[in-house]
Structure 1
Amino acid sequence: MTEFRTFEASDAPWTAIGFAFGIFYGAMFIFLFAFWGLDGMLLLFIIGLPFLAVQLILYIGVDRFAKWRHRDVAPKPPTAWLRHHSISFGSAIGASLALVWVFAAVRL
């Protein structure tokens, strides 16, 4: 199980940035799905697959290089729980708000 440290004042800006990005990300996903439909989401997924593959390859490569380079360095302290989950909470709230907005627009 992941260990988290207590929330500090220095975590507040990063948590707010992650939360705002999550709201934007969740809302945009719902808007794309609502306005483009399944065909548009499939097209977006196919276009995004190469970017995801490059990101995954770079992440694995950099991680292995960092582990090889810094074997004797102590690990960084864990992050705060709220900072760690801010993007997830923001995307859930953003998607919920976007769904409310889309269903309200459909009713009009």
Structure 2
Amino acid sequence: MTQRRTFMLQVALGSTALLASQVHAAAMVDEKDPQAGALGYKADATKVDKTKFPKYAAGQACSNCALYQGKAADAAGGCPLFAGKQVAGKGWCSAYAKKA
């Protein structure tokens, strides 16, 4: 009986961990979010208004920003400016700082 209880507990914990990781992965920054709007965040860097954000240059993206917490090839990753949410790897905001 102990092995069955252990197995059931492991299945329950594993399912909970999987569900939590999927919920966390789904939390993307919305461009309409007040913080995102203040920073000029766009999920697609090619759609940045260059007249409004003259600092933007082609090739700049969250995936090659010093603040980006994901891997360069990741579709999305964390950013300390948007705690608890992920930004698009192809995104951009006015806080962009080229990775060293």
TM-score range, shorter chain: under 0.3
Scaled by the length of structure 2, what TM-score is found?
0.28
Structure with the greater relative contact order (CA < 8 A, sep ≥ 6): 1 or 2?
1
Point out the structure with the larger strand share.
2
Scaled by the length of structure 1, what TM-score is found?
0.26
Point out the structure with the larger helix share.
1
